[in-house]
Amino acid sequence: MSSSKQMILGAQCTSYGASSSAWRNEAAAPDRLTNSDSIIESVKKAEEGKFHFIFMADHPALRDDISTSSPSSTIDPIVIASQLVHETNHIGIVLTQSTTFNYPYTVARQLKALDVLSNGRMGWNAVTTNDPRIGANYGETIAPRQERYARAHEFIQTVQALWGSFGQNAMKMDKERGIFADTSEIEPIFAQGQYVSSRGPLPIPASPQGQPVIFQAGGGAEGLELAVNYASGIYSIASDIESSRMHQAELKLMGERLGKNTEHINIFMGLIVTVGDTFEDALNKRRTMLNETVGGLEDKVMHLSQLVGLNIPYSMLHESLPEEWLAMLEAHPYQLHSQRAVNLFKQGYTVFDVLAHGVTDFHRTIIGSPIDIADEMQELFEDGGCDGFTISPDRYFDGLPDFVDKVIPELQKRGLYHTEYEGHTLRDHLNVPYQYGQN
Amino acid sequence: MSSSKQMILGAQCTSYGASSSAWRNEAAAPDRLTNSDSIIESVKKAEEGKFHFIFMADHPALRDDISTSSPSSTIDPIVIASQLVHETNHIGIVLTQSTTFNYPYTVARQLKALDVLSNGRMGWNAVTTNDPRIGANYGETIAPRQERYARAHEFIQTVQALWGSFGQNAMKMDKERGIFADTSEIEPIFAQGQYVSSRGPLPIPASPQGQPVIFQAGGGAEGLELAVNYASGIYSIASDIESSRMHQAELKLMGERLGKNTEHINIFMGLIVTVGDTFEDALNKRRTMLNETVGGLEDKVMHLSQLVGLNIPYSMLHESLPEEWLAMLEAHPYQLHSQRAVNLFKQGYTVFDVLAHGVTDFHRTIIGSPIDIADEMQELFEDGGCDGFTISPDRYFDGLPDFVDKVIPELQKRGLYHTEYEGHTLRDHLNVPYQYGQN
C-alpha cells in the first residue's frame, strides 16, 4: 500500500448511536426518531469533519425489543436523505434500498432525483433483504438466496438502464427557440426480466456525477459477484487485518473470474468508536453506557460465553475469571472478537469490563484516546487492505463531535486523511469514474 | 350555505405552471425540474398567503411531448415533500401516491414519517392510476377499473391499520427508568387481503393530527365510494356551479347509500388563474403565453372546433368568425368550457383570443383583475356547494405571487378567506376530526 494513499471515511449517524442505551443519556435528543433536527446536526458535524459520505442503513421492520432500547432504524432513508441533501453541500449520502421489496422504477426515480438535487452526491446501498419480518411487512416470504440475488442483478441493471434513458445532452431548456428537450436522446429501455420489468424512459437528466454510486453490503460468493458487476463501494463486515485482507483477495479473485476490473471498488470496514481523553476515560464511558443498558445484559454474558468457549454464570458479572478458568478459554479463529475477549480476560478484566470493551458488538470497537484510535485505524488501514472505514460513534450527540474534533485532526496530522474536499461529487470523493446508464 | 363559512384554498405549485409555455419566460427558473429552490420559494409564498395546503399531483411516466413543453410532473412527490416539510411551518402538504404501483407498508411508512416530521401537516391523495404508460414503467398492465378500486380499498385499509399499529401512548422515552416504549401498545396488524398484505407493526408514533388526511381524486361511482369510506378531501374536476353541485349531491347520495356521514368531506374545485391589473392586462398575459407555446396550437384549434361543433381551419387563427358561422355554433351541455367558447366567439373574439381565454384548459380558467377574480371565486363558492379551490397559477414565478399579493387580500376583505392559520395541523385547516388507525 502506498503511503501517500489516504483513507476514505463514512459516518453512520441516523439512529441514536451504536450503543443501545445511547438514547438514555440526558444530552441525547429524545425525538431523534420523529424529528430530523438532531440528525441534520450530526450530518453537518460529519461534513465539518470532511467525512466523504454518510451511510444510512435501513431495516423496515421492528427487530429490536423497543421496551428498553431504541430501534436500530429510524426515519425512512428516502425521506431523511432529501432533507440532508438540502442541508449539506459536500458530503456524500449513501442510503440503503432493497432490491426485493421495491419497484426498480421507484428506486431509479427517487435516487436520481436525489442525485440531481444534491449535485451528484448520492449512493445506493443495494441489499437483497433476508429478514422474514421485513418480508411479512411487504406481504411476502423470503425467497431462497440464489433467487434473491438473481432478482438483484435484474433490478440493478434495470435501475441503471433507467438512469441512462434520458440522454446526457437531452435537456436543452432553450427558451429562445422554445426547445425544452431533444427527445431523440430520450428512449424507453423496454427491460423485460424474469423478476422485474420496466419500459421507461425516466425523465430526469444526468447529475454532475452522472448517476448515483452503487454500494453493496452482502457477503458470500453472490455478494461478491454483485459487487464486482456493479459496486464502487463495499460495506464490509471484516473486523481485523486478516479478515479484511481475505475479503479483498476474494473480491480480486471474483473479478478475475468474471473478467472485471476491481481496482475502483472501495472496501470499507465498519468501526464502532468511543473517544476519551485517555484509554481509561474512554473505557469509563463504555462502562456507563453498559450500565445504562436495561435488560439484555444476560444475553450479552451468554454471547460472551460462546465467544470464549466457557459457560460464564451471570452472577459473576462483576468478577474476573479465576486462574483455573483462564486456562480453559478457547478463541474461535473465525468468530469476531473471540481472540480479543480471551485476551481481555487474561489481562484480568471483569466480565462486565470485557463486555464494556465491545466484544459483543456487531463491528470492531475501538476505545481510547484520540492517539490510541488513530494508531489503531492507521494499522488497520496500512496493513488491512481496506480503503477506509465507516465510523459508528457509540452516541451521536457526543461521540461524533469527539471523533471530528479530536481524532480527525490526528489523522490529518499523520497525512492519513484529507483536510479539504478535493472534488464535488461522491464519485470524486471515492475516486470512481463517471458512469451513466449501464456502462 | 352560511355566509360566515370561509373558503379553503390549496395551491398546485410544483411544475412550471398551468401554462405549458411557462418555462420559456425569462423569469422562470430553468432548473425547476432538478433544483428544489424555486419550488420551495413558491410554497413559502403560498404559506405567506395562508393557503391551507399545497397539492402535489404525480404522473410517473412521460406523457407529454417534452420537445417543446415542460413535463407536467416534476421531482418525486415523496422526495420534494420532505424538503417542503422542513422549510415550512403551517401549510398542509398533500401528495399523490398510487394504490396500484406501491406497497402499502412503504406508503404508510413514508407518509407517517412525513406526518410526524411536519407536526401533522400531511395529506395523501390516493389514486388508482389508469395510464398504461405508468403501468409499463412498473412492469404491469392496467387492471380493470373494478379490480383497481377493490385493491384501493384494501390498500387504504392496510395503510390506515399500519398507521394505528403503534399505540398513541406507546412512546415513553423515559430515560430515568430506561423505558423506551410500552410494547403492549404496539401490535402487528396481520392484514391479509386479496391484493395486498402486511404484518406490521409500523414503529412510528402518532403525529399531532394522528395520521395523514386522505384525499381522493377519481370520478364515477367507484371514486365516490372510496371518498365516502376514507377521504376528508376531494379534488374535483367540476368546473362550474352546476357540475360542482351535482358532484356534491352524488357524494351525499353515496354517503346515504353506505350509511356514512359525508359532512366532513371537503370538495375542492380546480381553478387556473391569471391575474392582471385589468381584465385586458390579464388577457394580454394569456396571449403572450399562448404565443410562446411552440407546437400544439393546431391541436388546440381542433379541440376548440369540437367544443363549438364547427370545423375551424387553422388558417383563421387570427380572425373572428364570420356572422353566418356564428349562427351555426353549438354548445355541448356536458363538455367543459363549451358554452363559454361559444359566448366568446359571439363577443367577436378571434380564434386565438378564444383560446387565450383558456377554453381548452383542463380546469376552469379565471382571468382578470383581482376584483374580477374574487367576484368569480365568490360566486362559485357561494352558489357552487364546494368547500374551496385548488389554485393552479398560469406561471409560478409571477402568477402565484400575484394571486397571494393581490387576490388573497381582496378575498380577506370580503370575509371569504381567513387572515391567519387558526390551527396547526392539516386536520385543523380542513376542519376534519382527529383520526388514528382505521377509526
CATH 3.20.20.30 location in chain B? 8-275+369-430
Whole-number pLDDT of residue A142? 97
Q: Is A173 on the interface with B (CB under 8 A)?
A: yes
| Contacts with B58 from chain A: Cβ below 8 Å | none
Mean pLDDT of chain B: 94
Contacts of A72 in chain B (CB under 8 A): none
Per DSSP, which regions of A289-387 are E strands? Answer: 364-368
Least confident segment among A198-212, B15-29, B350-364: B15-29
- Tell if the CB–CB gap between B180 and A30 is shorter than 8 Å: no
State residue A57 phi and psi, 5-degree precision.
Answer: -75, 175
- Those of residues 269-298 in B touching chain A at CB distance below 8 A are 292, 294
Asked if B75 has any chain A CB less than 8 Å from its own CB, the reply is yes
Is A390 one of the annotated binding-site residues? no
Are the beta carbons of A264 and A433 closer than 8 angstroms?
yes
Summarize pLDDT for B88-139 with one digit per residue, the tens: 999 999 999 999 999 999 999 999 999 999 999 999 999 999 999 999 999 9
Distance from CA of A65 to the nearest CA of B (A): 8
For A110, nearest residue in chain B (alpha carbons): B76
Q: Which ipTM did the prediction report?
A: 0.95
User: For residue A63, what pLDDT is reported?
Assistant: 84
Q: Which one of A79, A101, A294 has the shortest CB-CB distance to B178?
A: A294
* pTM, two decimal places: 0.96
pLDDT value of residue B307: 93
For residue B2, pLDDT beyond 70: no
pLDDT for the residue A2:
42
Residue of A nearest to B62 (CA): A203
Tell me the pLDDT tens digit for each residue of B30-75: 888 888 999 999 999 999 999 999 999 999 999 888 998 888 777 8
Nearest to B199 among A33, A106, A136 (CB): A136
CA distance B429 to chain A (A): 22
Interface check B62 vs A, CB under 8 A: yes
Q: Which three cell numbers stand for residue A249?
A: 483477495
**What would the CATH number be for the domain defined by A8-275+369-430?**
3.20.20.30
Contact A203 B66 (CB under 8 A): yes
Average pLDDT over residues B205-213: 97
Grid coordinates belonging to B246 = 351535482
Decide if A18 contacts A285 (C-beta within 8 A). Answer: no
- Give the dihedral sign, CA A86/A88/A90/A92: negative
Cell of A277: 481523553
Q: Nearest-CA neighbor of A117 among B35, B76, B86?
A: B35
User: Which of these, B422, B427, B420, lies nearest to B208 by C-alpha position?
Assistant: B427
Question: Is A84's Cβ below 8 Å from some Cβ in B?
Answer: no
**Shortest distance, CA A188 to any CA of chain B (angstroms):** 9
Tens of pLDDT, residue by residue over B308-328, are 999 999 999 999 999 999 999
Average pLDDT over residues B183-208: 96
Give chain A positions within 8 Å (CB) of B23.
173, 175, 180
Q: Can you spell out the DSSP letters for B22-35?
A: GGGSTTS-TTTTT-
Instruction: Answer whether A63 touches B (CB < 8 Å).
Output: no
Q: Please indicate if the annotation marks A16 as binding a ligand.
A: no
Block means of pLDDT (10 residues each) for chain A, length 439 residues?
78 87 88 89 97 96 88 88 98 97 98 97 96 97 96 98 96 93 96 97 96 91 96 90 90 96 94 97 96 87 94 95 93 84 96 95 93 97 92 93 98 98 98 93
Contact residues on chain A for B175, CB-CB shorter than 8 A: 23-26, 28, 30
Residues 115-154 of A with CB under 8 A from B: 116-117, 133, 136-140
- The number of CA neighbours under 13 Å toward the Cβ of A18 is 24
Distance in Å, alpha carbon of A136 to nearest chain B alpha carbon: 5
pLDDT confidence of residue A1: 39
Q: Is A96 annotated as a binding residue?
A: yes
